[in-house]
């Protein structure tokens, strides 16, 4: 990805922020890595910082800077996994519609992502459970995505 990422701030070991600047103005983005019930898996949360200090992870910013935001996300994930390379990172959308959007982004940036990361995803099984499978660009029914530093 040739686009320069936004500069980001790491206030804690696990929380990053940066400012998206586009047609809708400046929007503060927060990326947070948090433990899950599985000790080897870290959740990556991503959303817009609201004026009241809360996070909106369902918004569509439409700030016309998706490529730059993605470059920044990759940069942040690399920074985090430089410190914690053994962890697998999971992220999921707030809805299946959002998961389809995430899949489209992963597909579009697959070459860049797969250079440094192994990408897998969670798909439903026939018996109502889920299984982790290698990321398939054609599958549209993923419930979560995993990335792990190679």
Partner 1 sequence: MAQLKVDTGKTKSKTERTVIVTKSKEPVKSTLFAKKIKKVNALLSNASLLQS
- Interface positions with partner 1 (CB under 8 A): 11-15, 30, 32, 34, 36-38, 40-41, 43, 45, 47, 54-55, 57, 88, 90, 92, 94, 120, 122, 125, 128-133, 143-144, 148
In contact, 81 and 149? CB cutoff 8 Å:
yes
Minimum Å gap between C-beta 23 and partner 1 is: 26
Find the shortest distance in angstroms from Cβ 37 to partner 1.
Answer: 4
Q: Is residue 12 packed enough to be buried (19+ CB in 10 Å), middle (13-18) or exposed (0-12)?
A: exposed
30, 50 contact by CB (below 8 A): no
Q: Which residues are 35's β-sheet partners? A: 42
The smaller minimum CB distance to partner 1, of residues 74 and 144, is found at 144
User: Which CB, 32 or 112, lies closer to partner 1?
Assistant: 32
């Amino acid at each position: 990805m040739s686009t320069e990422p936004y500069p980001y701030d790491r206030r804690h070991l696990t929380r990053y922020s940066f400012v998206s600047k586009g047609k809708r103005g400046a929007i503060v983005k927060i990326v947070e890595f948090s433990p899950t019930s599985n000790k080897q898996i870290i959740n990556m949360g991503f959303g817009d910082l609201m004026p009241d200090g809360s996070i909106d992870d369902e918004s569509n910013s439409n700030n016309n800077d998706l490529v730059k935001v993605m470059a920044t996300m990759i940069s942040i994930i690399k920074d985090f996994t430089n410190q914690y390379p053994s962890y697998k990172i999971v992220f999921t959308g707030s809805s299946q519609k959002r998961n389809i959007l995430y899949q489209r982004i992963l597909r579009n940036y697959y070459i860049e992502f797969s250079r440094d990361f192994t990408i897998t995803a969670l798909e439903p099984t026939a018996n109502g459970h889920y299984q982790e499978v290698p990321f398939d660009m054609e599958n549209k029914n993923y419930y979560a995505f995993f990335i792990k530093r190679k």
